[in-house]
Amino acid sequence: MRTVKFIHISDVLLGIDVDKETSWGDDRKKEIYETFEKIIERATDIGVDFLFISGNLFDHKPDDGELEWLDGVLGSLKDTVVIYAAGFNDNLGGGAAIMSYRFRSSVCVIGSPAMGSYLSLGGGYRDAQATMAMDHLHFPEKDLDVYGVSYFDGRMDAHAIDEAEPDDRAVHNVLVACGGDRHRMPVNWHSLHDRGFDYIAMGGRQKYSVEIPGKVYYPGSPEAVSMESTGPHGYIYVEIGSDGTKAEFVPVAAREYKRIDYHVDNYTRDGELGEAIERLLNIEGVENIYTINIVREGGCEKSFDISEMLSEYRILAVNGEEFERTDYSEYVKANKNTEFGKLLEKLDDSDIDSSSGAKMAVDRMIDMSMLYCKNNKKMGNDVFREMKRQVMSLLEIECHAYENQRDIKEYLEIRNDYIISPDVLEQLNLVWAKERAMELEITTLRKRAEELPRKYRREWILMGIRATVIPMMTMGILSIILLSATLKRIGGSFPDDRLVYILIFMMLVIWGFYCAGYVFAKYRGIIKKGGKIRLHEELEHNQICLNALCADRDAIHKKRTELQMLDGRRRDMYESMNDREKKLDVKLQKLRLVRSALDMLRE
């Protein structure tokens, strides 16, 4: 069998935001891409047959644009076949773009139907028995069979590769997968040990590790992506031949994450500590990224300030720089009859936390006097007064420095304006309710003014009907009765000329009644009810009331507008104050703490 050479990488995590809140965060993101491209260049230089990517090439599901870029980068590999198994980050589920993307370069995505059944480069093809659960690729020209598993979801609890076994042991066999822990593709390494694979390319871990020497390897991330991933990072170069498998880890990362532990005591000075750590940084490599742990010895209670000295280096954190004092029992015991003891009495158990002004005052007194270096921990009254003066002076300078910062100054101005601004919300609600009541009353008066003429018109019509129609009906009935009685008396008929006179007479009588009723109605409407005069008077009174209400309503409306402006201005100040408080939270807490410590020392 011929010798097969390949590079194994995993967990490149293209696109991840590393140290995004630091000044070098953007550079780190670019370096991950640059290191990946450097590996591709080395693969070309070495002339490897294959590049195995065992999961998490991207830290997310790549879109078409990212796959187009990847296709272009991998296209530089003229004689190398890329075998890409998707991991839990860049999985093939949920309509992933990689499921349908067809690479122009020689890339085979494990489990993806887009690859087809044949690879032009290397004479490879997909076995007819291959499934999406366990893909199987033959490369007869290379004497190599590749088995692989891709993720189709972010989790895979099934034991997908425990029972995997090569079909043809006369060729080299490689298994490509990602996971190996109890949550992602659990693996029984003991059962997999003798399955007949020459190399098992695993992914899913960010640090290089060997699970089974000579067989199962995790290359880790080519570039470290977190401060926990200390040590070298790179890829694995592998050769499989007739004499077995040879695997070599090759560092390639632009920089490493490192940790420096430095031991200090109460007599270590800031300058001495800073210079010592700078020397170590230069020895370990200024290009690297560091976490510095200050290890205290011999009951060291001294706080240090070296962050500014190390600002030119890539320092993620300086742990233990400030000492957090929690036990004051020795100081209380040694200062029972001193002025410092009286200050300690103000510090009860509830005050022993970082947000207590009393704690700050006591700590500053201890740190200023270096009382922690003394065996008896006692502070004389003269020393206390001098230390108190110095501490108060420093606290006042610190307080003024915070207050004079532009953002703090603007916040305090807004806060003061808010405090003195009147709270008119309750008054505004009352005025608004009163304005609405007036609007309702004005609407009622306007409707009444429209209704009054119609009301009087109805009254006049009804009065005329009662005064005229009723007498006419009464007279008509009497006329019929009289005519009937007269006809009976004269024998049943009237002479023609007399009938005419009788009818004329009756009509005149009815007309007379009508006129009398009309005159009566007019008299009653004008004299007793006032008629049009009364209507005009009511309309005039209604208009006077309406004008008065409108004037009051306008005055109330003006007042309501003024109150709304005041309330709106107060609300704007409140929102602005809250927004600034969120942004200045740390500074404001420090300012409140300094003020509280000053108040405690002034008592």
Query: What is the spatial distance between Cα 121 and Cα 107, in angstroms, rounded to a whole number?
Result: 9
Q: Which is higher by pLDDT, 452 or 465?
A: 452
Banded model confidence at residue 299, pLDDT cuts 50, 70, 90: confident
209-212/234-241 β-pairing: unpaired
Closest CA to 597 of 359, 410, 425: 359
Q: Which is higher by pLDDT, 255 or 451?
A: 255
135-139/124-126 β-pairing: antiparallel
- Structural contact between residues 236 and 251, judged by C-beta atoms closer than 8 angstroms: no
Query: What is the spatial distance between Cα 334 and Cα 269, in angstroms, rounded to a whole number?
Result: 26
50-54/4-9 β-pairing: parallel
Position 424 pLDDT exceeds 70: yes
Q: Average pLDDT of 7-26?
A: 92
pLDDT above 90: percentage of residues in the chain: 44
DSSP assignment of 59-121? SS---HHHHHHHHHHHTT-SS-EEEEE--SSS-STTT-GGGT---SSSEEETT-GGG-SEETG
Query: What is the spatial distance between Cα 295 and Cα 261, in angstroms, rounded to a whole number?
Result: 6
- The DSSP call for residue 16 is -
Position 579 pLDDT exceeds 80: yes
529 Cβ partners below 8 Å, 6+ apart? Answer: 459
Query: What is the spatial distance between Cα 420 and Cα 112, in angstroms, rounded to a whole number?
Result: 69
- Structural contact between residues 80 and 229, judged by C-beta atoms closer than 8 angstroms: no
Closest CA to 139 of 299, 1, 326: 1
Radius of gyration of the chain (CA): 50
Q: What is the pLDDT of residue 355?
A: 59
Position 285 pLDDT exceeds 70: yes
Position 530 pLDDT exceeds 70: no
Position 528 pLDDT exceeds 60: no
Locate 64 and state its tokens. 């078409």
- Structural contact between residues 265 and 323, judged by C-beta atoms closer than 8 angstroms: no
Predicted confidence (pLDDT) per residue in 183-241, tens digit: 888 988 888 888 889 999 999 999 999 999 999 999 999 999 988 888 899 999 999 99
Phi, psi (rounded to 5 degrees) for 389: -60, -45
Q: What is the pLDDT of residue 522?
A: 62
Query: What is the spatial distance between Cα 217 and Cα 235, in angstroms, rounded to a whole number?
Result: 10
Position 501 pLDDT exceeds 90: no
Q: What is the pLDDT of residue 73?
A: 95
Position 514 pLDDT exceeds 80: no
Banded model confidence at residue 70, pLDDT cuts 50, 70, 90: very high
Highest-scoring range by mean pLDDT, 4-13, 148-157, 553-562:
4-13
Query: What is the spatial distance between Cα 394 and Cα 600, in angstroms, rounded to a whole number?
Result: 14
Compute the mean pLDDT over every residue in the chain, rounded to the nearest whole number: 86
Banded model confidence at residue 483, pLDDT cuts 50, 70, 90: low
Q: What is the pLDDT of residue 3?
A: 92
Position 168 pLDDT exceeds 80: yes
Position 174 pLDDT exceeds 90: yes
Geometric angle at alpha carbon 70, from 67 and 71, rounded to 5°: 85
Closest CA to 125 of 149, 153, 145, 148: 145
How far is the CA of 512 from the CAs of 14, 425, 480, 505, 516, in angstroms? Answer: 114, 73, 17, 10, 6
Predicted confidence (pLDDT) per residue in 54-63, tens digit: 999 999 999 9
